[in-house]
Amino acid sequence: HQCCLRLETKYIYLFLSLRDNKRQSNLPNVDRWDAWGPYGDCSRSCGSGVTMRTRRHNCVGPDKSYRSCNIQDCPEGSRDFREEQCSQFDGTDFQGKRYKWLPECVSPPAENPCELNCMPRGENFFYRHRSAVVDGTPCHPGRKDVCVDGVCKVSLKR
């Protein structure tokens, strides 16, 4: 027996799928949850990445599921993950200049810790290069919370 909620023209209908042996009940066609797909690639090779799986449905509820992966510490001397992301913009034209970009380091930090805000070396401004960092990026230095789909999450399933 499977249950699915669906929003339809201001009303919420509850659809039930009941099978009794080979006989189908007289209930209307039912929206069903598809099976979860496989988890995709991990967003990081070390330092707590995130992997996602999806399912299709016409129901109310989540169609994405996340879990942590590659949670082992990165090797000593590894580059900071946010710094890696900012460096992708090094040498690109920005308002007629080319900069080396570093992670934003203003206090307090920007309103959303999961945006990719970078500062040009030697300057005192930052620029939002992306609305969301790569999944698995720490929300704050030295803490365990990570960004997932642009939102800071305290913990994920392992």
Give pLDDT tens digits for 107-141.
556 678 999 999 999 999 999 999 999 999 999 88
Residue 32 has, within 13 A of its CA and on its CB side, a CA count of 10
pTM exceeding 0.85 = no
**Residue range 10-48, pLDDT digits in tens:** 333 333 232 333 344 444 445 677 889 999 999 999 998
| The pair of three-digit structure tokens given for residue 27, joined into one six-digit string | 């209930």
Q: Which two tokens stand for residue 7?
A: 């929003």
Half-sphere exposure at residue 62, Cβ-oriented, CA atoms within 13 angstroms:
7
Strands (E), 1-156: 2-8, 11-17, 19-20, 23-24, 49-54, 64-69, 93-94, 97-98, 101-103, 116-120, 127-130, 146-148, 151-153
What pLDDT sits at residue 20? 32
User: Which two structure tokens, joined as six digits, stand for 67?
Assistant: 């879990």
DSSP tally for the chain: helices H, then strands E: 1, 13
Rounded CA separation 53/31 (Å): 20
Q: How far apart are CA 73 and CA 89, in angstroms?
A: 26
Which has more confidence, 140 or 51? 51
Q: Are 104 and 126 in contact (CB under 8 A)?
A: yes
